């Protein structure tokens, strides 16, 4: 992205001016301006003025076929220079402060201050520079520690070094490289790319777009986002993000992702990197999608919705509760005042624990739910899709098991007093099993012909065959007479 070759431009009276190259500016604008100047000079259309003495600079005078003017600020020029109107190009090899409007500036490694307005370009090839720009601009830097005030709209590109960018305009496009960079985005609709270095971003403007690194050599991205409708795509960077605005979107990548959310109606999407998401005290309407890298989620005082990815995930609900679509092998902890609603998916295991109440609904395919570590009120619904076989284990609290259309295995909780529900409209003639059946458990049967039901005891277990050929085997139980209720 950089060039270390010398930049030369036409000087006055046919001379050549060499700009101290540094690393070359990152967009190579200095080289492009050099080519333009040589082309104009060769055709006789360029007026070149060299200033090497202190004092005010006169406006340029065009003669003959000249159509543009170049000002060369040499070593003896004033330390503080204001460019008169009429100069389209400035080459700075000596002045410390340059102020101009509607001008294209090429700078060396003189550690200068540039103040530009109108439609301007600043291309320092190196050094530690300070640029303050309004209007429309392109600012391209070489290696160095640069301070940039982007107060209008334009393109800002920093090279290696430690740069600070303060963008208060609207619609800036900012590219950081591989240094330890700081950026403050107070304007709206700003776009920032963090690069492979360590970037720290504060974004308070609305609609800002922040990218991490996508080069495969990740650094770190730390962003505090308080503006509304912001988007952060972390890419390969290892990212730490705080969201406090509204309707924000954070997308993870291959790097690690850590998000603390205290905003409203934010969405967080994990990817191949490990993701950790914590809902703070102000978070409302939070929506989280896990990726294949695994998700660790901690809920807050408001309800959150989580869709876990195909990985091993740890989900802890907050006092506001949690709605989970379990797409991986998930360990879920519920708290007493919140609880959880979980929708299962084929081929995945869910472990539920804690004192929060649970509503679990199985989906298509075979699923396993182990709630043995739970102590709240649990309501389990096996899948009503034929061929979906579910294994569900109750906890020490109150458990209610609802049979589905597959061959389900229910294990009663340690506290007893569980209820097992079988509805003819849901069962499909499959063979279900109940283990750890207690004497104070109840089985409620609805929609079956009691007269057509039969009971058989074999090998220490009882099998009840219902009128639709659904079979229920009570493992290690020989007497169920007082536990069966038809309705």
Give the pLDDT of residue 95. Answer: 77
Q: In this structure, what are the phi and psi dihedrals at residue 12, rounded to the nearest 5 degrees? A: -70, 155
Give the pLDDT of residue 190. Answer: 98
Could you report the per-residue pLDDT of 195-222, keeping only the tens digit for each?
899 999 999 999 999 999 998 888 999 9
Give the pLDDT of residue 20. Answer: 63
Report, as an integer, the average pLDDT of 423-443: 97
Give the pLDDT of residue 375. Answer: 96
pLDDT-derived band at 108, boundaries 50, 70, 90: confident
Average pLDDT, the chain: 94
Q: Is a pLDDT exceeding 90 seen at residue 21? A: no
Task: Decide if 196 is inside a domain.
Answer: no
Give the pLDDT of residue 4. Answer: 47
Q: Is a pLDDT exceeding 60 seen at residue 80? A: yes
CA distances from 275 to 67, 238, 330 (A): 58, 10, 14
With helix as H, strand as E and coil as C, how does 250-271 read? EECCCCCEEEEECCECCEEECC
Q: Is a pLDDT exceeding 80 seen at residue 171? A: yes
pLDDT-derived band at 482, boundaries 50, 70, 90: very high
pLDDT-derived band at 316, boundaries 50, 70, 90: very high
Task: Decide if 121 is inside a domain.
Answer: yes
Say how far residue 39 (Cα) sits from the centre of its chain.
47
Task: Decide if 51 is inside a domain.
Answer: yes
Task: Decide if 165 is inside a domain.
Answer: no
Q: Is a pLDDT exceeding 60 seen at residue 5? A: no
Q: How far apart are CA 51 and CA 243, in angstroms?
A: 51
Say how far residue 261 (Cα) sits from the centre of its chain.
11
Count of domains forming the chain: 1
Report, as an integer, the average pLDDT of 90-109: 91
Q: How far apart are CA 358 and CA 195, in angstroms?
A: 44
What percentage of the chain carries pLDDT values higher than 90? 85
Helices then strands, each counted (H, E), the chain = 1, 48
Report, as an integer, the average pLDDT of 174-179: 94
Q: How far apart are CA 25 and CA 38, in angstroms?
A: 19
pLDDT-derived band at 11, boundaries 50, 70, 90: confident
Task: Decide if 63 is inside a domain.
Answer: yes
Could you report the per-residue pLDDT of 236-256, keeping only the tens digit for each?
999 999 999 999 999 999 999
- Quote the tokens at residue 124: 């320092």
Q: Is a pLDDT exceeding 80 seen at residue 14? A: no
Q: How do 198-203 and 68-73 pair as beta strands? A: unpaired
Q: How far apart are CA 378 and CA 371, in angstroms?
A: 8
Length of the chain, in residues? 487
Least confident range from 103-112, 281-290, 365-374, 418-427: namely 103-112
Could you report the per-residue pLDDT of 252-311, keeping only the tens digit for each?
999 999 999 999 999 999 999 999 999 999 999 999 999 999 999 999 999 999 999 999
Question: What's the burial of 61, exposed, middle or buried (CB within 10 Å: 0-12/13-18/19+)?
Answer: exposed
Could you report the per-residue pLDDT of 387-423, keeping only the tens digit for each?
999 999 999 999 999 999 999 999 999 988 999 999 9
- Quote the tokens at residue 144: 């160095």
Least confident range from 68-77, 147-156, 331-340, 385-394: namely 68-77
Report, as an integer, the average pLDDT of 58-71: 95
pLDDT-derived band at 12, boundaries 50, 70, 90: confident
pLDDT-derived band at 9, boundaries 50, 70, 90: confident
Task: Decide if 483 is inside a domain.
Answer: no
Could you report the per-residue pLDDT of 324-340, keeping only the tens digit for each?
999 999 999 999 888 99
Q: Which domain holds residue 134?
A: 1-160
Task: Decide if 313 is inside a domain.
Answer: no
Task: Decide if 47 is inside a domain.
Answer: yes
Q: Is a pLDDT exceeding 70 seen at residue 184? A: yes
SS3 percent helix, strand, coil of the chain, rounded to 5, is 5, 45, 50
């Amino acid at each position: 992205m950089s060039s270390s070759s010398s930049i030369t431009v036409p000087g006055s009276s046919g001379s050549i001016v060499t700009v101290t190259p540094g690393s070359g500016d990152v967009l190579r604008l200095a080289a492009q301006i050099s080519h333009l100047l040589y082309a104009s000079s060769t055709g006789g259309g360029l007026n070149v003025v060299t200033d090497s003495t202190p004092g005010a600079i006169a406006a340029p005078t065009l003669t003959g076929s000249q159509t543009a003017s170049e000002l060369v600020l040499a070593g003896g020029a004033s330390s503080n220079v204001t460019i008169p109107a009429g100069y389209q190009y400035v080459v700075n090899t000596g002045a410390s402060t340059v102020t101009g409007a509607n001008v294209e500036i090429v700078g060396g490694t003189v550690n200068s201050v540039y103040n530009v307005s109108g439609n301007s370009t600043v291309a320092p090839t190196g050094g530690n520079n300070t640029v303050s720009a309004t209007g429309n601009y392109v600012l391209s830097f070489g290696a160095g520690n640069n301070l940039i005030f982007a107060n209008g709209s334009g393109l800002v590109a920093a090279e290696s070094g430690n740069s600070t960018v303060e963008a208060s305009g609207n619609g800036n496009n900012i590219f950081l490289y591989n240094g330890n960079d700081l950026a403050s985005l107070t304007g709206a609709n700003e776009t920032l790319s963090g690069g492979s270095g360590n970037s720290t971003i504060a974004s308070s403007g609305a609609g800002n777009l922040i990218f991490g690194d996508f080069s495969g050599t990740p650094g770190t991205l730390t962003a505090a986002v308080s503006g509304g409708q912001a988007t952060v795509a972390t890419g390969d960077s290892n990212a730490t993000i705080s969201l406090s605005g509204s309707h924000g979107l954070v997308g993870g990548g291959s790097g690690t992702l850590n998000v603390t959310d205290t905003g409203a109606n934010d969405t967080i999407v994990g990817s191949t990197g490990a993701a950790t998401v914590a809902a703070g005290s102000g978070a409302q309407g939070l929506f989280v999608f896990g990726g294949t890298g695994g998700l660790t989620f901690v809920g807050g005082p408001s309800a959150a919705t989580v869709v876990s990815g195909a990985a091993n995930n740890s989900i802890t609900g907050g006092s506001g509760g949690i709605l989970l679509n379990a797409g991986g092998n998930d360990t879920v902890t519920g708290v007493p005042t919140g609880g959880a609603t979980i929708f299962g998916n084929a081929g995945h295991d869910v472990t539920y624990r804690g004192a929060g109440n649970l509503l679990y609904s199985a989906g298509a395919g075979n699923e396993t739910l182990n709630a043995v570590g739970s102590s709240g009120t649990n309501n389990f619904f096996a899948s009503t899709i034929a061929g979906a076989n579910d294994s569900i284990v109750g906890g020490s609290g109150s458990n209610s098991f609802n049979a589905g259309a597959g061959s389900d295995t229910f294990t009663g909780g340690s506290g007893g007093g569980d209820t097992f529900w079988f509805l003819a409209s849901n069962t499909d003639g499959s063979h279900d099993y109940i283990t750890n059946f207690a004497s104070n458990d109840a089985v409620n049967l609805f929609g079956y012909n009691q007269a057509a039901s039969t009971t058989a005891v074999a090998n220490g277990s009882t099998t009840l065959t219902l009128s639709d050929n659904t079979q229920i085997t009570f493992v290690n139980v020989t007497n169920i007479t007082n536990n069966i209720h038809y309705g």
